[in-house]
Amino acid sequence: MRRSPTGAGGGLTDTARRIIRLNYGFQLLFNLLWWMPVFYAYQKTAGLTDAEIFGIQSIYYVAFCLFEIPTGLIADRIGTRNCLRAGAVVMTAANLAPVFSASYTGFLVHFLAIAAGRSLTSGAASAYLYDGLRAEKCDEHYLKAEGTARALGLAAKVVCWPLVGPLMALAHAAPYLLSAVSAAGSLACAVALPRLAGAGDGGNGSGKAADRSDGGRRGGAFLRDAGAALRCVASSRWLALVMVQGVAVFTLSRICQVNLFQPILLDHGIAEASHGGVLAAMTVAEAVGSARPQWLSRRLTPVAWVSLLSLVLAGSLAGMAFGGPWSVVALLCLFAAATGFAYPVQRKLVNDAVPAHAPRATLLSVESIVDRAVCALAAVAVGAYVSAGHLDALLLHSALATALLLGGFQLGLHSGVMKGSQESAPGGVPVVTQDAGGTDGEAFRAAPGAESGRARRG
């Protein structure tokens, strides 16, 4: 395979560069929801009550968890590339639903379809990128590719979201029409994605594994994949612990940036007219962190960095209980930057921990189910705290809960998982090392004679 000249592509093959660029386009367009800043007001204008609006949101989170179970299995059955195409089709249709029916039923169908479309791609996109780069022997570029894709998507939101108001003045349904156009663009990117190399010669460890990622295995039942995924989690303490570590990052980021963002600003006397500017500043901070995870020092392992960044998130929340308006804005930006750094590192940790030949997309869906289930429970608690006027107590208790979770995680790590040979998962033994020579600070190597989460070199 011909490689790009040194410096131009950093050792990437032409196919790997194509995979990365199309992944950038897919992630940016698929997640560019123009209606996000105005959906509450849009539904109020359509005649929905607060109870109906928040009821739909509750149904959405539950549906997302339920859809994650079959969609992960579907991705491992029909192939991640085909799953991305299906998700883009569903997302395009979902964004058109409110255009044709701006009613409770229309918005309910809209959010249910959004849940289905996003669950189809939540694990498949990461699995395709990881397997695709690994098949091209370019897996050291995965971390940067994952982070840059997230950063580009965030940057697009900063640019596009301020335009929503003027566009709605021209056409009231513009946010949903533009979201549908963006989703259709992501479908074009998914259609252009190449078949994974090595489908016939074991490009990602075996021909069977490659075929599963890019076309689906023949025969068998969906339950076989579900059973294999659950056995992987049950038999691999390392994989289970890494998933648990990610719960803190996901839950804190979702709760703060979605549920608590406006209550925190209003509680500190920051007017609604300034909320858009604060949100833009937070998005820029998160985009910078997502694009540059390699800025994190290699003196700490990725595991340690995710734990440390989780503590930064918790500390930022706790600090908001005591600061004034300007310090709260600064802490929100710090919170967003830490989230940006943590997401791609955590995603790579989970992918590296997945044993060879395991149903990767199904396992990533399992992780998403756990994250969103915890987030759903946290949202209930947030509602109770906020309605009772105990916002500061919520921020402090969230920080404390995160510290306790990470304390339990560290106990698990020091019980033997990080010592390497005490646990053998299907396909290999996870060993934690310092990878001083890696371009992305990766800290996992397969044990001698085994493969664990990344393809064997040579």
> Of the residues 219, 247, 271, which one is the last residue of a structural domain?
219
Q: Confirm whether 225 is domain-assigned.
A: no
d(CA 128, CA 214): 8
Q: Confirm whether 259 is domain-assigned.
A: yes
pLDDT at 200: 34
Considering the domain architecture, whether residues 164 and 299 belong to the same structural domain is answered as: no
Q: Confirm whether 193 is domain-assigned.
A: yes
Which pTM was predicted?
A: 0.62
Q: Residue 268's closest CA among 305, 319, 310, 314?
A: 319
- Which position has the token pair 């990622």? 213
Q: Confirm whether 372 is domain-assigned.
A: yes
Q: Confirm whether 282 is domain-assigned.
A: yes
Considering the domain architecture, whether residues 215 and 239 belong to the same structural domain is answered as: no
pLDDT at 205: 38
pLDDT at 90: 95
Considering the domain architecture, whether residues 193 and 241 belong to the same structural domain is answered as: no
Which domain CATH number covers 286?
1.20.1250.20
Considering the domain architecture, whether residues 259 and 214 belong to the same structural domain is answered as: no
Backbone angles phi, psi at 375, to 5 degrees: -65, -40
Q: Confirm whether 414 is domain-assigned.
A: yes
> Of the residues 185, 219, 253, which one is the last residue of a structural domain?
219
In sequence order, what DSSP letters do the residues of 285-302 get, joined into one string? HHHHHHH-GGGS-TTS-H
> Of the residues 150, 184, 219, which one is the last residue of a structural domain?
219
Question: How many domains is the chain built from?
Answer: 2
Considering the domain architecture, whether residues 48 and 183 belong to the same structural domain is answered as: yes
pLDDT at 75: 66
pLDDT by residue for the chain (458 residues), tens only, comes to 444 444 344 578 888 889 999 999 999 999 998 888 777 778 878 888 767 776 787 788 778 878 876 666 676 677 888 889 999 999 999 999 999 988 999 999 999 999 899 888 877 888 888 888 888 888 888 888 888 888 888 888 888 877 877 888 888 889 899 999 999 999 999 999 988 754 433 333 333 444 444 444 444 455 666 676 677 777 777 887 888 888 888 888 877 877 677 678 778 887 655 666 777 788 888 888 877 777 787 788 888 888 889 899 989 989 998 888 889 999 999 999 999 888 888 888 888 888 777 777 677 777 777 787 777 777 777 777 877 788 888 889 888 988 888 887 777 777 654 444 334 333 333 333 333 333 333 333 333 333 333 333 33
Considering the domain architecture, whether residues 426 and 365 belong to the same structural domain is answered as: yes
Type of residue at 360: R
pLDDT at 94: 95
Considering the domain architecture, whether residues 334 and 393 belong to the same structural domain is answered as: yes
Considering the domain architecture, whether residues 403 and 263 belong to the same structural domain is answered as: yes
Determine the longest span between alpha carbons in the chain, in angstroms: 64
Considering the domain architecture, whether residues 189 and 252 belong to the same structural domain is answered as: no
Q: Confirm whether 227 is domain-assigned.
A: no
Considering the domain architecture, whether residues 170 and 260 belong to the same structural domain is answered as: no
Considering the domain architecture, whether residues 196 and 301 belong to the same structural domain is answered as: no
pLDDT at 307: 86
Considering the domain architecture, whether residues 210 and 249 belong to the same structural domain is answered as: no
User: Which 8-state DSSP code applies to residue 34?
Assistant: T
- Which position has the token pair 């204008």? 45
pLDDT at 89: 95
Residue 126 structural domain: 9-219
